[in-house]
């Protein structure tokens, strides 16, 4: 019981203290919303908006989650407050889950902002929203753990944001969000399949537009694999670099 009380208090503290910091507002909220409006305004037809909706949702999750972790983890590590958290009556795994749960929730909320905009412009009937929710949750989890991996690899917030962009911007073009993977040069396609967002976006494309390139069961399994690997590597890095 004490572990879960500590989990909740850490999560509540992070959401209160860090989630409205300027880097989070600019990269996690304003940037995805601005891109959403830009794409929707440019896409005049119903078909155009529905075609790009999976990509915009995926991008909103990616930027929202990674921006959260870049602030919460690196800021607390720099100010030594993370060291105090290690004294809490909670395992390291549960501690890091408490530090990432808020980002996952934020990413899920971010994903449905484009959906709300789209609902005023087009008819979204015929979509399996349960499957959409499942894919959004798993994209948020893998993107958050990618953000965790980045955050524990650097020491400054600006380094974390810069390192995040090293992953985020290539994903926009390589993960099939707006450019089909089959349209990419042959030498770039293997890179697409080693990026987790490719599989999350594929589920959304299958669900919203029926144009996925892989079975959704495979997509979910790959996302789970990415999440476990990224979280495990992050925990290992924390033990090796932060805990003496």
Query: Could you give the number of structural domains in the chain?
Result: 1
Range of the domain at 183: 2-241
DSSP tag of 21:
S
Which pLDDT score, from 0 to 100, does residue 24 have? 59
Token output for 32: 């995805």
Q: Is the pLDDT of residue 14 over 70?
A: yes
Q: Is the pLDDT of residue 61 over 60?
A: yes
Of residues 28 and 64, more confidence is placed in 64
Q: Which of 89-93, 95-99, 130-134, 228-232 has the lowest mean pLDDT?
A: 89-93
Q: Is the pLDDT of residue 40 over 70?
A: no
DSSP tag of 89:
S
- CA–CA gap between residue 141 and residue 100 (Å, rounded): 9
Q: Report if pTM > 0.85.
A: yes
- CA–CA gap between residue 44 and residue 30 (Å, rounded): 22
> Cα 188 vs. chain centroid, distance in angstroms?
22
Which of helix, strand or coil describes residue 244? coil
- Tens of pLDDT, residue by residue over 87-110, are 777 888 888 898 899 889 888 988
CB count within 10 Å of CB 219 equals 23
Q: Is the pLDDT of residue 4 over 60?
A: yes
Buried b (16+ CB within 10 A) or exposed e, 83-98: eebeebebeeeebbbb
Residue 73, Cβ density class (10 Å: 0-12 exposed, 13-18 middle, ≥19 buried) = buried
């Amino acid at each position: 019981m004490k572990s879960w009380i500590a989990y909740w208090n850490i999560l509540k503290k992070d959401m209160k203290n860090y989630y409205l910091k300027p880097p989070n507002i600019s990269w996690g909220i304003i940037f995805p919303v601005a891109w959403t409006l830009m794409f929707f305004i440019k896409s005049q037809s119903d078909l155009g908006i529905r075609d790009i909706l999976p990509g915009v949702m995926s991008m909103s999750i990616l930027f929202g989650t990674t921006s959260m972790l870049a602030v919460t983890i690196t800021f607390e590590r720099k100010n030594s407050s993370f060291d105090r958290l290690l004294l809490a009556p909670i395992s390291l795994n549960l501690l890091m889950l408490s530090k990432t749960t808020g980002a996952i929730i934020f990413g899920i909320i971010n994903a449905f902002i484009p959906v709300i905009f789209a609902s005023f412009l087009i008819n979204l009937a015929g979509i399996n929203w349960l499957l959409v929710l499942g894919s959004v949750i798993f994209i948020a989890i893998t993107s958050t753990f990618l953000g965790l991996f980045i955050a524990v690899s650097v020491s400054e917030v600006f380094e974390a944001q810069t390192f995040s962009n090293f992953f985020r911007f290539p994903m926009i073009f390589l993960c099939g969000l707006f450019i089909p993977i089959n349209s990419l040069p042959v030498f770039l396609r293997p890179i697409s399949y080693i990026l987790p967002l490719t599989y999350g976006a594929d589920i959304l494309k299958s669900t919203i537009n029926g144009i996925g390139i892989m079975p959704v069961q495979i997509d979910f399994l790959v996302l789970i694999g990415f999440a476990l690997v990224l979280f495990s590597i992050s925990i290992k890095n924390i033990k090796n670099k932060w805990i003496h």
